[in-house]
Amino acid sequence: MKKRIALSVFALIFLFISTLGYLGFSNLSAAKGLNSFISKGQLNGAITESEKLANKYGQLQGFLSLPIIKQSINVFGLDFAANKSDYQAVIKALPYLAGVEKPQRYLVSFQNTAEARGTGGILGAFAILKIDKGKLTVERTGSNAAMASLKEIPVPVTGEFLNLYGKNPAILQNSNLSPHLPYGAEIWMGLWKRQTGQDLDGVIAVDPTSLSYILKSTGPIVVRGKKIDDKNLVAETLKDAYKRYEKDNDSRKQYLVEIMNATAAKLTAGEFSKVSMAKAINRGVFEGRILVYSRDQNAEKHIANSKLGAFLSEELNNEYRVVIQNIDASKLDYYLQKDVEIKSTSCDIPRKTTVSVTVTNTLKSGKGLPAYVLTRADKGKPADLVTGQHKFKVFIYGPVGSSIVSAWRENLEYGIGGQAKERMRPVMVMEVDLKPLQSEKLQVNFAGGNGEVKFVDQPLVIPTNIAIKGGC
């Protein structure tokens, strides 16, 4: 199978098809103009055309937002309005991302959300993607076994970062603890630099759930005699494969690469519906399952202001986040459910807001699961440890400039937790250890916040239930 048929095809789909094809469908001439300047290596022309295309796309969305039009397109699931600014940002960033003046190399990270990290999950598989004047080449693919951990974090980090995460991000599996994508992306690229001597220009991150959306468009694939489609892909990659290849982890990892390659083969052959593919990409972007980081400052300034950037802004806001960090090295986040309620309790200055989080281990029983899935690598395990019991940390973020007034939890076995800061945001950190079918409720009261209440989700396997009540 050709090397170009690999995970990195997501970048092709995301960066080019979605922005230039599906999103600019009524502005085809502008999209063609942008492609022409990119292929000729003419940066100024590409920048001008990208601005034109972004503006035309904004005008298109204005028309599509008319009530009668909106109702019609909603019937077909084609409403892209929620991601309007995100797509405009990518269009404007495209001249810098596409290697117009010099080739750009990207690490394509496939995140395993069964072991939760700040940006989604641990890096499970990867590809090195080269883009030169819009032409894509896959230079290398592999599993995380091909990327080595270090004893020291390979890039400069702040004292604040060290206070919150320590030196743990030097380890590959902990490299993306922060939900701020630029931190994890720089560490990934730093690890790659130390290992190979090669500088990279950015990162593109996706997860199995976004791949399942794409399979809904392409139709099923067959790998090692097994039919895989949008309905069973997540379970197959994040649960079933661990059991099937319990005694051969290397074969399991290669199996995942084969699944990605088979999907990519359909994509490169054009075996998909353009409409359904547009819907798949739109959903992945909206849920924060497709992420992009670029070292090019011109590109990043656009991306950072979109869902794609997974960027913890330091500007005043009223944004809340709940982030799960797996600390026992298990794959039990596959079964973890988050329910989040954000409630305004006072509109006086400073505003008062309560964030309530209920975390549930939905696993009925750990009996029969592979030891690899059930791993308890954490220290100080309880004497009455139950098979399938899962320990993790919950990071509850308040808005920029706010403060934590108080915190409460149902189970005080591990204490109330501790406070920290990340990028001008207060963070409450609580350790939780749940037996199968056990839940715990956590609550943090914040003072401060500016503007409309917003919640930015950390997408895991089970969708988060979110309720925002009241407003000021």
Domains and CATH numbers, the chain: 1-145+193-311 (no CATH), 317-469 (2.60.40)
Distance CA 151, CA 162 (A): 14
Q: Work out the average pLDDT over 444-465.
A: 96
Answer whether residue 31 shows pLDDT above 80: no
Answer whether residue 97 shows pLDDT above 80: yes
Q: How confident is the model at residue 375 (pLDDT cuts 50, 70, 90)?
A: very high
Answer whether residue 387 shows pLDDT above 60: yes
Answer whether residue 464 shows pLDDT above 60: yes
Please indicate whether residue 60 or residue 179 has the higher confidence score (pLDDT): 179
Q: Work out the average pLDDT over 213-220.
A: 92
Residue 417 backbone class (left: φ over 0; alpha: ψ -120 to 50; beta: rest): left
pLDDT at 28: 56
Q: Work out the average pLDDT over 13-24.
A: 40
Answer whether residue 150 shows pLDDT above 50: yes
Place of tokens 């059930």: 374
261-286 per-position pLDDT tens digit = 788 778 767 778 777 887 888 889 88
pTM score of the predicted model: 0.90
pLDDT at 234: 97
**pLDDT-wise least confident of 82-86, 149-153, 387-391:** 82-86
Q: Work out the average pLDDT over 409-437.
A: 96
pLDDT at 355: 98
- CA angle at 19 for the pair 17 and 21, rounded to the nearest 5°: 50
Let me know: does 242 contact 296? Beta carbons within 8 Å: no
pLDDT at 7: 37
- For residue 159, the tally of other CB atoms under 10 A from its CB is 7
Kindly give, in sequence order, each residue whose CB lies less than 8 Å from that of residue 312, ignoring residues fewer than 6 positions away. Answer: 178, 179, 180, 422, 423, 425
